């Protein structure tokens, strides 16, 4: 049985529909991503799931519990890291963990959490003195301090530099390896592709697709894009005359040929004794799938 079941979830703010008939399941032990641009309804959806906001219509079940009728029990079994969560500037790392641990009947071992999340040497540091990456590590620790079965992480790596983001991804993978089911809200394509077992793509309050990252990408035409700089002038007609080629573009000296075509393009260049400098072969990725599903660029 799924650990989260959402059916026909609907939430309106005055004249704006934030969540429109959203339905999905989350299976135990997976990292389930909710992917979409800012303002798509991702955060409102998880706030309804975690009993932080009352939905207007639909049903939600988390670990067999009704979030709004069995809130106290749910909060003992669910960890939540909110977008842009803040703590008092002077509150120290260990103090924060001890405070949060006091809210739970079966809290995690604080020393183990500090070690696991790389915060042991910062345990006496005030929140205001932590770097962005360290604050995010603390946010994860606070979400895990109650030994939850499910952790909901909302826009976890927004504002982090690339290295801190990748470090955080490794931490999330480690959390899942400990048996915690994770719901990850994100608008970063690379993050979703790296971490998530399955993804719900949400746009304008509606889910437009649910699948594995590979499954979503496979739904896009499996074309190749070949980029190169020809060593001698080549007319577009040389490529468009090939059955395998769908389109040809030029960006300055670079030629971009799209289709099902690597062997066909390299063969025609070889026959003309033209070298393809800087040749790169690209395939569809999650960005392409997102554009195909929503009609707009991610971000």
- What integer is the mean pLDDT of 94-119? 94
Beta-carbon neighbour count of residue 66 at 10 Å?
14
Q: Note whether 124 and 151 are same-domain residues.
A: yes
| Phi and psi angles of residue 130, each rounded to the nearest 5 degrees, phi first | -80, 150
Tell me the pLDDT of the chain averaged across its residues: 90
Q: Note whether 246 and 104 are same-domain residues.
A: no
Q: Note whether 68 and 83 are same-domain residues.
A: yes
- Rounded CA-CA distance 77/66 in Å is 13
- What integer is the mean pLDDT of 257-275? 86
Q: Give me the DSSP letters along 215-228.
A: HHHHTS---EEEEE
pLDDT reading at 155 higher than 90: no
Task: Give the pLDDT confidence score for residue 290 in this predicted structure.
Answer: 84
Task: Give the pLDDT confidence score for residue 107 in this predicted structure.
Answer: 95
- Rounded CA-CA distance 7/162 in Å is 36
| Phi and psi angles of residue 90, each rounded to the nearest 5 degrees, phi first | -90, -5
Q: For residue 297, name the pLDDT band (cuts at 50, 70, 90).
A: low
Q: Note whether 111 and 211 are same-domain residues.
A: yes
Q: For residue 141, name the pLDDT band (cuts at 50, 70, 90).
A: very high
Tell me which range, 34-38, 146-150, 240-244, is most confidently predicted by mean pLDDT: 146-150
- Rounded CA-CA distance 255/79 in Å is 50
Residue 291 in any domain: the answer is no
Phi/psi-derived region of residue 220, left when phi > 0, alpha when psi is between -120 and 50, beta in every other case: beta
Task: Give the pLDDT confidence score for residue 1 in this predicted structure.
Answer: 86
Question: Which pair of tokens denotes residue 110?
Answer: 């604080």
Q: For residue 282, name the pLDDT band (cuts at 50, 70, 90).
A: confident
Question: Which pair of tokens denotes residue 199?
Answer: 């993804």
Q: Note whether 38 and 184 are same-domain residues.
A: yes
Best CA proximity match to 43, nearest among 104, 85, 1, 73: 85
Q: Which residues pair with 13 in a beta bridge?
A: 16
Of 64-78, 125-139, 146-160, 218-232, the one with minimum mean pLDDT is 218-232
Q: Note whether 118 and 72 are same-domain residues.
A: yes
Q: Match 């049903």 to its residue by tokens.
A: 59
Task: Give the pLDDT confidence score for residue 84 in this predicted structure.
Answer: 64
How open is the CA angle 143-73-200, to the nearest 5 degrees? 55
Domain residue limits at 252: 223-283
132 versus 82: the higher-pLDDT residue is: 132
Residues 43 and 154 sit within 8 Å (Cβ to Cβ): yes
Tell me which range, 10-24, 219-233, 255-269, is most confidently predicted by mean pLDDT: 10-24
Q: Note whether 244 and 207 are same-domain residues.
A: no
The domain tally of the chain equals 2
- What integer is the mean pLDDT of 21-27? 96
253 versus 297: the higher-pLDDT residue is: 253
- What integer is the mean pLDDT of 37-58? 92
| Final residue belonging to a domain, choices 217, 234, 253 | 217
Max distance between CA atoms of the chain, in angstroms, equals 75
- Rounded CA-CA distance 278/287 in Å is 23
Question: Which pair of tokens denotes residue 197?
Answer: 């077992």
Q: Note whether 121 and 162 are same-domain residues.
A: yes
Using one digit for the tens of pLDDT, what is the confidence trace for 169-223? 998 998 899 899 999 999 888 999 999 999 999 999 999 999 999 899 887 766 7
pLDDT reading at 299 higher than 60: no
Does the pTM surpass 0.75? The reply is: yes
- Rounded CA-CA distance 267/21 in Å is 51
Residue 298 in any domain: the answer is no
3-state helix, strand, coil in the chain (%, to 5): 35, 30, 35
């Amino acid at each position: 049985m799924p650990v989260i079941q959402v059916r026909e979830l609907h939430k309106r703010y005055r004249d704006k529909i934030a969540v429109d008939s959203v339905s999905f399941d989350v299976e135990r032990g997976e990292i389930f991503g909710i992917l979409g641009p800012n303002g798509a309804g991702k955060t409102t959806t998880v706030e309804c799931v975690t009993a932080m906001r009352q939905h207007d219509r639909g049903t939600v079940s988390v670990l067999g519990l009704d979030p709004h009728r069995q809130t106290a029990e749910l909060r003992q079994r669910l960890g939540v890291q909110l977008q842009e969560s803040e703590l008092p500037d002077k509150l120290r790392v260990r103090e924060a963990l001890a405070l949060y641990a006091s809210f739970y009947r079966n809290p995690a071992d604080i020393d183990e959490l500090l070690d696991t999340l790389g915060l042991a040497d910062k345990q006496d540091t005030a929140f205001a003195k932590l770097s962005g990456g360290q604050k995010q590590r603390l946010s994860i620790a606070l979400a895990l301090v109650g030994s939850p079965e499910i952790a909901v992480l909302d826009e976890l790596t927004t504002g982090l530099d690339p290295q801190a983001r990748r470090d955080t991804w490794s931490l999330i993978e480690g959390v899942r390896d400990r048996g915690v089911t994770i719901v990850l809200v994100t608008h970063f394509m690379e993050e979703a592709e790296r971490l998530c077992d399955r993804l719900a793509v949400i746009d304008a309050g509606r889910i437009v697709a649910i699948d594995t990252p590979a499954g979503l990408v496979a739904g896009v035409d499996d074309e190749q894009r070949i980029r190169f700089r020809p060593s001698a002038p080549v007319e577009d007609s040389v490529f468009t005359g090939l059955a395998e080629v769908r389109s040809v573009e030029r960006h300055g000296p670079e030629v971009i040929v799209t289709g099902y075509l690597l062997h066909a393009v390299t063969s025609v260049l070889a026959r003309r004794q033209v070298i393809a400098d800087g040749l790169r072969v690209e395939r569809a990725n999650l960005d392409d799938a997102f554009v195909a599903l929503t009609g707009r660029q991610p971000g």
